[in-house]
Structure 1
Amino acid sequence: MQQQPYESPGTHATDRSLRVLVVDDDPTVAEVVAGYLDRAGYLVDRADDGPTALARAASHRPDLVVLDLMLPGMDGLEVCRRIRDRAPVPVIMLTARGDEDDRILGLEVGADDYVTKPFSPRELVLRVESVLRRSGPAAGHRLGAAGLTLDPAARRATRNGAELALTLREFDLLCFFLRNPGRAFSREDLMREVWGWDFGDLSTVTVHIRRLRGKVETDQARPRLIQTVWGVGYRFDPAAEEN
């Protein structure tokens, strides 16, 4: 990865109130990524293996984790699982280019985003800023339908009174559906509206739909709330659950 002259890509945490944990066993990658994040205004911790990452996350809870998939001692998928079990911390996974199965596995275990190597450090900072911006308090009134209740400001979701353990993107996706019931959206639409991307790997949307169905549907094999509209995409239909 070639280091580039730093130019701030956007709004950043000038008060250093936001902590990012960078986990990568390649010292060059870790140093460059940490340097860019530091100059963007983040407080940066580093770890070079899985067990150290878990210990750092436990002692100083990060606001976001940049996590390499291939790590000594414990792979990034297991680290992501354990971090997500402790708290809803956003995770950006670093994967090798072309490893689509690994990227999908990362999303399946709860990663909110991924960046493929080699990557531009400035692009990674933009992704960090985007994920953190979406993980902050959101404006809007409480939303509800078909036994689901979402509080955007508190980022809290329940189904029939029971708390839902949603990742950042799962929460945003469900919030978007609740605000737009009965309308069909393509995967490109959802990627643009929920992720804020004009292009990207559409399997990201597919994986998150599958994960979200597993948490809100009575029968994931026969989804009624989040329906597939063949040739188009997906539609949220609360009336189908109520009938």
Structure 2
Amino acid sequence: MRMHVLVVDDDPSIRELLRFVLRKDGYVVLEAENGQAASGLLENEQVHLAVVDIMMPGKDGFELCQEIRLHYDIPVIMLTARAEMEDKEKGFDAGTDDYIVKPFEPKELLFRMKALLRRYRLVSSEVIQLGSVVIDRRGYEIKIGEAVLTLPLREFELLSQLASHPGRIYTREQLIQLIWSADFQGDSRTVDVHIKRLRERFADRQDDFTITTIRGLGYKLEVREG
């Protein structure tokens, strides 16, 4: 099946470049010049991945990304000239899976897209495999070979969330909303404590996966390539 990629950018030259590069690599390209037009395409067309600019008239890339996260289960790459850490943090808070700063190498965009599409296909199941570690999301169990490990609920949900999209950066605030809910009364240090516990529990499984701190942003889970 050919993958359908939605390109959202108000710069016609960027859309033209991406159209050429993506079609050459076998993708079907859908184009929108702003967030509002992109919303219409998402409602009416099959989209497997979105490449989104931030600075657009009307509905900007942050708003569009939040909308995609709310209604669709597809990867999002922000492709933007905004390189400040604050913009990156806002992008990941909005739910983007990756963030690429213009000017960019088309080849890099392609391999990042392919990596994201692989990851999203992997998490369509109720079972996530991280090397020899198997997460059974339905049974709330971790299996390592013949052994079964039962984690406290919040730790299990946190690990499952990170493992659902390996390589994706989650901010602490985003993890609080996803795992503890928006009305949680604690602070972001709660996430740090749970991450520390997970790292301690799986200290001897680093050949399978690691949970990495992204300074100034949050955390991501990385799977070791076999």
Q: What TM-score range do you get, normalising by the shorter chain?
A: 0.5 to 0.7
Matched with 1:208 is: 171
Residue 60 of structure 2 corresponds to 75
Distance 1:175 1:224, change over 3 A: farther
1:52 is aligned, of 24, 29, 37, to 37
CA deviation after TM superposition for structure 1 residue 216, in Å: 2.0
Q: Mean alpha-carbon deviation: is it higher for 25-34 or for 136-145?
A: 136-145
Distance 1:172 1:39, change over 3 A: farther
- Does the CA contact (< 8 Å) of 1:97 and 1:118 recur in 2? no
Whole-angstrom CA distance in 2 between matches of 1:235 and 1:31:
48
> Which residues of structure 2 form unaligned runs of 5+?
143-151, 202-226
Number of matched residues? 178
1:183-202 → structure 2 map (5 Å cutoff): 194-195=166-167
Report the alpha carbon displacement of residue 137 of structure 1 after superposing the two structures with TM: 2.7
RMSD of aligned alpha carbons: 3.4
The Cα of 1:209 is off from its aligned counterpart by: 4.0
SS at match of 2:46: coil
Q: Which runs of 5+ in 1 are unaligned?
A: 1-14, 151-158, 177-193, 196-203
Cα 1:225/1:103, change in 2 over 3 Å: closer
Residues 32 and 130 of structure 1: is their aligned pair in 2 closer, same or farther, counting only changes over 3 Å?
A: same
Structure 2 counterpart of 1:34: 19
Matched, 1:227 2:189: no
Residue of structure 2 equivalent to 1:143: 136
Match of residue 85, structure 1, among 54, 61, 70? 70
Structure 1 residues 128, 174: closer, same or farther in 2, change over 3 A?
closer
TM-score normalised to structure 1 length: 0.61
* Counterpart position of 1:109: 94
**Partner amino acid, structure 2, of 1:125:** L
Q: Is the 8 A contact 2:176 2:188 kept in 1?
A: no
Aligned twin of 1:236: 198
Q: Which AA in structure 2 matches 1:44?
A: V
TM-score normalised to the size of structure 2? 0.66
Structure 1 range deviating more: 79-88 or 210-219: 210-219
CA distance in structure 1 between the aligned counterparts of 2:91 and 2:191, rounded to whole angstroms: 25
Give the drift of 1:49.
Answer: 1.0
In structure 1, the residue matched to 2:162 is: 173
Structure-2 residue corresponding to 1:64: 49
Q: Deviations over 1:103-143 (max 9, x none)?
A: 21111011111100110111111111111111113563443
What percentage of residue pairs aligned between the two structures are identical? 33
1:50–1:75 Cα contact (<8 Å) kept: yes
On the 8 A contact 2:89/2:171 being kept in 1, the answer is: no
Q: C-alpha distance in 1, partners of 2:198/2:177?
A: 14
Q: Distance in 2 between matches of 1:175 and 1:75?
A: 27
Task: In structure 2, give the amino acid aligned to 1:34.
Answer: R
Structure 1 stretches of 4+ with a deviation exceeding 6 A read none
The verdict on how the C-alpha distance between 1:222 and 1:57 changes in structure 2, with shifts beyond 3 A counting, is closer
